[in-house]
Amino acid sequence: MKIAIIDYGMGNIHSVAKAVALFKAEPVITNKKNEISFCDKIVLPGVGAFEDAMAELEKQDLISLIKDQIKQKKPFLGICLGMQLLLESSQEAKSSCGLGIFAGEVVKFSHENGLKIPHMGWNNLKVVSDKCPLLQDVVKDSQVYFCHSYYSKPADKTVIGATTDYGIEFASVLWKNNVYATQFHPEKSQTVGLKIMRNFVQLC
């Protein structure tokens, strides 16, 4: 099995590739459209700014490809910024739209209640959908690793697989059909994160 890890200059691609390879899948780090299309599954990692990321995806002519691959029911995983890009818009971006796979927007954490921004470090997962394939065998209140200043606010709450509390309860896992997304970094989340990566690799 080949899993494309989209390399558009804004992702923690090598750590993700190592995590994928642990489960006997072949990671293909690439920004080439034909290679991405040939792979069985796709991962979109991401760190940095929403607007810059969308600009890079557009520059490399990957936006329509990503949408087409998702429409073809190929399993797709967005990680951190890669999750946020799947929404329609972000408060961080004044002049660019997201991929629009999930209806909703990306909003910034408030400094109210003395919250430190970015939200960085370990925090709990509250699984709200025990049917989400990505979360199989993930026990209640498992801890995962976060690093972000913005969070996804989907319009449809039924796509939320798990939430996390950081002053407010925000969506930390999204899931709809063949599309999965995590606000945290599974590749940095030790045993729990590797379970999640295993679940993605083993999806039919």
DSSP character at residue 138: P
Peptide bond before residue 27 is cis, with ω within 30 degrees of 0: no
Q: Tell me if residue 148 is catalytic.
A: no
Residues 157, 199: Cα–Cα separation, whole Å: 22
Decide if 92 contacts 132 (C-beta within 8 A): no
Of residues 138, 168, 128, the one with CA closest to residue 152: 168
Q: Tell me if residue 187 is catalytic.
A: yes
Q: Tell me if residue 132 is catalytic.
A: no
How many helices, marked H, and strands, marked E, lie in the chain? 6, 13
Q: Which of 80, 119, 132, 148 is catalytic?
A: 80
Q: Which of 92, 119, 148, 185 is catalytic?
A: 185
Decide if 78 contacts 86 (C-beta within 8 A): yes
Decide if 130 contacts 175 (C-beta within 8 A): no
Decide if 101 contacts 156 (C-beta within 8 A): no
CA distance readout (Å), 38 to 6, 30, 80: 13, 11, 24
Q: Which of 35, 88, 187, 204 is catalytic?
A: 187
The two structure tokens encoding residue 108: 């910034």
Query: What amino acid positions are annotated as catalytic residues?
Result: 80, 185, 187
